[in-house]
Amino acid sequence: MLEREDLFYKQKNVFDILSDEELKACEEYARGYMRYLSDARTEREAVREAVELAKSAGFTEYVFGKQYSPGDKVYYVNRKKALFLAVFGRKPLSEGVNLAAAHVDSPRLDLKQVPMHEDSEIAFFKTHYYGGVKKYQWVAIPLELHGIVVKKDGQTADITVGRQEGEPRFCITDLLPHLGAEQMKKTMSEGISGENLRIVIGSRPDASQGDDRVKLAVLKILNEKYGISEEDFLSAELMAVPAFGVDDIGFDRSLIGGYGHDDRVCAYAELKAIIDTSAPEKTAVCLLVDKEEIGSEGVSGMQSRTFDRFMDDICRTGGADLYECYSKSFCLSADVCNAFDPTYPEVSDKRSNSKLNYGVGIMKFTGRGGKSGSSDASAEVVGRVRRMFSDNGVVWQLGELGKVDQGGGGTVAAYTANRDIDTIDAGVPVLSMHAPYEIVSKADCYMTYKAMLALYKEN
């Protein structure tokens, strides 16, 4: 008969378990992640930085049709916005692969295609928000601008302004409280409208005569610096993101504050894990995909056939059938979950919500209402994860996104599961998810990395 201690389900705080040596490894891991997050402000930059890290670890660009051997490390970039990495295993591909899938796009403010205008001698960029944002959080904070402009002649101008110290930044205004009485009566979703999310980009008029002299002066600066005119914005992809650093949070430095933890925190975990994996039993595959925040649609999202093309080529050159490989594969959909927030306890069922510092958060299902839109992993899959994590010293917890009928969300899990791949969500719990400045725990980041390492070791 089991004793009381073993009869109850008890969770453990990672800090009560980690040895001094592991605490050091945890801090070192966090430093590496913080550097990555600081450099990866957009999906393009997240892919670019990941490729740099992979190349310096010996990964080479995948060549379609080429036959690879166990231990070979390859990467494939899809349209500069998504990245697939693989380390070939000893077992044939007909036995499946171990797959981790994270996304590298984050909520932000995209510029409209005709973004520039002048109003009352102030020049603005108008925006169209991307992903689930609470609009009131994006006013009166410093913003930086990232992206590309494709000119008529096909040349591309890269634009990054505000990331480096000393560069100008941008800002959306908010109403002063003295005159905000009417605004404050509105609901939080109506208080700041989407059309009012316009960014201040200049105020000094050009010395010439005529209309829109401030806008003209800004256009002259842009033309001089990047060789572009207003029409070039039609074929531009520019986005404003928070101009915040990536910081230790708390006197004890146990947490990390920064923009874009969702989902670059899991992207980095699987990237670092596949870099640290050599000669696995089964082929290890790491996916960093785009467009999750708007439904995983499109050519760079998880629903894109680009993934199937890559996997099919790997399988064919390895003498395996793609569908057989899929059916024997296993996937951790590496995406963040919500951490229990004691300031807002009413939205969570405390017993089944992920908590800070309790390790990587597993979500058997996501979705909303009656689990609608979720792939809902089987008990067998959860059982497999329990065993895999306990065999490898991974501290983990099972979470649910808030109370029943409180709200909901989704991940890429459904899109790998739809392909006949057993899939379950596993990721870092986040406080203030989708805010311009999100918080995660270093201990949970480290455990998510260990979870990905364990996945790639599976045979």
- For Mn ion, which is the closer residue by CB, 40 or 123? 40
Residues 6+ apart with CB under 8 A from 264: 36, 37, 40, 46, 102, 104, 106
* Among 45-53, 249-257, 330-338, 347-355, the segment contacting Mn ion (CB under 5 A): 330-338
C-beta of 16: minimal distance to Mn ion in Å? Answer: 28
Residue nearest to Mn ion (CB): 263
Type and span of the H or E element at 441: strand 438-441
C-beta of 151: minimal distance to Mn ion in Å? Answer: 33
C-beta of 196: minimal distance to Mn ion in Å? Answer: 23
Does residue 335 bind Mn ion (CB under 5 A)?
yes
* Among 58-66, 83-91, 333-341, 382-390, the segment contacting Mn ion (CB under 5 A): 333-341
Integer Cα distance of 359 and 14 in angstroms: 6
Polymer length in residues for the chain: 459
185's tokens: 């009566």
C-beta of 310: minimal distance to Mn ion in Å? Answer: 22
| Strand positions, DSSP E, 25-107 | 60-61, 73-78, 82-87, 97-103
Does residue 438 bind Mn ion (CB under 5 A)?
no
Q: How many residues bind Mn ion (CB under 5 A)?
A: 3
C-beta of 118: minimal distance to Mn ion in Å? Answer: 34
394's tokens: 């991974």
- For Mn ion, which is the closer residue by CB, 262 or 444? 262
* Three-class secondary structure of residue 170 per DSSP: strand
Sign of the alpha-carbon dihedral angle for 228, 39, 455, 377: negative
State the amino acid at position 454 in one-letter form.
A
Type and span of the H or E element at 287: strand 283-289
- For Mn ion, which is the closer residue by CB, 99 or 217? 99
What is the footprint of Mn ion within residues 252-291 (CB under 5 A)?
262-263
C-beta of 117: minimal distance to Mn ion in Å? Answer: 30
Residues 6+ apart with CB under 8 A from 24: none
- For Mn ion, which is the closer residue by CB, 49 or 262? 262
Integer Cα distance of 270 and 287 in angstroms: 8
* Three-class secondary structure of residue 285 per DSSP: strand
- For Mn ion, which is the closer residue by CB, 277 or 300? 300
C-beta of 345: minimal distance to Mn ion in Å? Answer: 22
Task: Give the angle 38-40-45 at the CA atoms, nearest 5°.
Answer: 150
- For Mn ion, which is the closer residue by CB, 325 or 439? 439
- For Mn ion, which is the closer residue by CB, 335 or 444? 335
Query: For residues 40 and 53, is the Cβ–Cβ distance under 8 A?
Result: no
408's tokens: 């909901």
C-beta of 147: minimal distance to Mn ion in Å? Answer: 20
Question: x/- contact string, 195-234, with Mn ion (CB under 5 A)?
Answer: ----------------------------------------
Calculate Rg over the CA atoms of the chain.
23
- For Mn ion, which is the closer residue by CB, 45 or 263? 263
Integer Cα distance of 62 and 59 in angstroms: 9
C-beta of 136: minimal distance to Mn ion in Å? Answer: 18
Task: Give the angle 138-140-144 at the CA atoms, nearest 5°.
Answer: 70
- For Mn ion, which is the closer residue by CB, 118 or 263? 263
Tell me the helices (H) and strands (E) count for the chain, helix number first.
12, 23
Where does this chain bind Mn ion (CB under 5 A)? 262-263, 335
